[in-house]
Amino acid sequence: MSNNFNIAVFASGSGTNFEAIAAACRSGELSANISLLITNKECGANLRAHRLGVPDCVIQYAGREGYDEFDQKALDLLEANNIDLIVLAGFLRRVGPKVLNLYEGKIINIHPALLPKFGGPGMYGLRVHQAVIESGDVLTGSTIHFVTAEYDKGSIVAQTQVKVLPGDTPEILAQRVQGVENSFYVSALKKLIPSLKNK
Ligand code: GAR
């Protein structure tokens, strides 16, 4: 289906959320094009992009200088592809200031906990679930939020809850949360995209 709303996904990991979003664009469930995948290293998400025929680009970088270069290269690609929305899906790097500036209000992220708890720098992957278990909380979940310069602090778009069960390890809890995230991300995008199209 042809659309005039273009999505770029940024990822660093296995890419299940990227694939779910790409599939929903392709099936017409989301009225958007999956235009581009950007990663900061070769990862599972790139393999999925190749299989699905989604254009992808690895922008590798190290250190502060590399970070500025990543920011500029990403911005060039976003502009060349007329991207309307950036979807972070397991992207474990900060979005650079140039991209943040030009795409203010048009970048969203998924975080595997109920923000504002268990977020911030260094809170990703199993560390998040470890912290949830150590806190004694009986509910965790997943949060979709706008991305701002302050890590995990942008306004919340949607949250879904997942139980923490006795005996959970970080690995088991991560699996339970990831089990709901793919469809949760797609349904949140379904509600969000029409409002962004009107901006
Ligand atoms: C997801 O669980 C997402 O919530 C988490 O990375 C995973 C990516 O899975 N994101 C963060 O931890 C961001 N701080 P995927 O590569 O299979 O989409």
CATH architecture of 6-197: 3-Layer(aba) Sandwich (3.40)
Q: Where are the domains of the chain?
A: 6-197
User: What are the tens digits of pLDDT across the range 21-63?
Assistant: 999 999 999 999 999 999 999 999 999 999 999 999 999 877 7
Mean pLDDT for 120-149 is 96
> What's the pLDDT at 65?
65
CB of 178 closer than 6 A to ligand 1? yes
CB of 81 closer than 6 A to ligand 1? no
Is 0.85 surpassed by the pTM of this model?
Answer: yes
Nearest ligand 1 atom to alpha carbon 124:
12
Cβ atoms of 53 and 69 within 8 Å: the answer is no
User: What are the tens digits of pLDDT across the range 82-127?
Assistant: 999 999 999 988 899 999 999 999 999 999 999 999 999 989 999 9
Q: Ligand 1 test: best mutation among 124, 157, 186, most atoms within 8 Å of CB?
A: 124
Cβ atoms of 70 and 91 within 8 Å: the answer is no
One DSSP character per residue, 116-175 reads TTT-STT--THHHHHHHHHHT-SEEEEEEEE--SSTT-SPEEEEEEEE--TT--HHHHHH
CB of 160 closer than 6 A to ligand 1? no
Residue 9: pLDDT over 60: yes
Is 111 a catalytic site residue? Answer: yes
One DSSP character per residue, 41-76 reads S--HHHHHHHHHT--EEE----HHHHHHHHHHHHHH
